[in-house]
Amino acid sequence: MISSRRITLKTFPEGLPEDSDFEIVDVELAAPNKDQLLIQVTHLSIDAFIRTTLGSGGLHTQADIGDPVTALGVGKVIASGTNDFQEGDWVAGPTLAQSHALMPAAAFQKIHPGNESPSKFLGVFGMTTGLTAYAGMARLGQVQQGDTVVVSAAAGAVGSMACQIAKHLGGTVIGIAGGPQKTQYLLEDVGCDKAIDYKGEDVAAQLDTLAPNGINVFFDNVGGDILDHVLNRIAPGARVVLCGAISQYDDLSDVTGPSQYLKIAERNAQMLGFTVDHYAAEFPEFVAQLQTWSEAGLHLSEHIESGIEKFPHALRTMFNGGHMGKLLVEL
């Protein structure tokens, strides 16, 4: 028997999740049955979509009271009920928020960290991070040489990757983030051409100055007013990619939609939404390209919280703007 410490849902959050909405529970896990894996989790990915599982109305399955909170993770197999995985293999998949996971083997894929941290398979090569950014920029955004590209929540994990991918595809990139520290990060670490501080600057006025000929591609992680500001300034034939809407997740029963959507029709543009799982068949191709760019300098900073007990705090950090790059819990 293995003892697993997990974060379970105690109450459905109203607004920003608080520590009191969760409970830390220790459970005993048996040896894996046929086609199961027992995994020692090393890192958990903190993603905005987790908030949408903690109530009704979201794309993802709602968690029930007492359930472990949804999360993707990486870890090492310590016992296997299938010949497809061996003890010692590294895997990535839906571990949930727990220190040890007893899960169906079919839900996991082998990873090969080598000399690098396995957390890279939640970041640069992670489904909700690097692969999401690649699908949005390369497939939907179809960024081309000379495009003016704007990315919201650009200092976060997906945003940081989206900015760099757009640069590799030939775009001129304007990142939007909150606060001077984050705009400095975008310019000096991520490599954006320009950055806008939505907390301290007039976003609309800055977009007029920095993109006088209009915006060709917008990769949106935020929604709300920022989406409207950009829609009002899109160029003919623009591609607006809806990756997320973090400004709306606290109350999915009262989502505020864009008021400037008619600009899509007026300018013969497109607004496209997606979830990365629709591109699963192309993941090997995505990873191969990201690996090539990684060798050429593509990277992702990590903000790490230590200990499974920090999971609620880390989730709150995701929504209060307290991190840059990839937000992780290390166990």
pLDDT digit string, tens, across residues 93-148: 999 999 999 999 999 999 999 888 999 999 999 999 999 999 999 999 999 999 99
Q: Over 60: is that where the pLDDT of 250 sits?
A: no
Q: 62 or 243: which carries more pLDDT confidence? A: 243
Residue 154 · residue 131 · CB < 8 Å = no
Provide mean pLDDT across the span 56-74.
80
pLDDT score at 55? 73
Task: Provide the percentage of residues in the chain whose pLDDT is more than 90.
Answer: 85
What fold is seen in the domain 127-277? Answer: Rossmann fold (3.40.50)
pLDDT score at 60? 54
Residue ranges of the chain that CATH labels 3.90.180.10: 2-123+300-330
pLDDT digits (tens, 9 = 90+) for 19-51: 999 999 999 999 999 999 999 999 999 998 898
On whether the pTM is more than 0.85, the answer is yes
Residue ranges of the chain that CATH labels 3.40.50.720: 127-277
Q: Over 80: is that where the pLDDT of 245 sits?
A: no
Q: Please identify, in words, the CATH class of the domain defined by 2-123+300-330.
A: alpha beta
Contacts of 157 (CB under 8 A, 6+ apart): 47, 123, 126, 128, 129, 300, 325, 326, 327
C-alpha 179/C-alpha 84 separation (Å) is 47
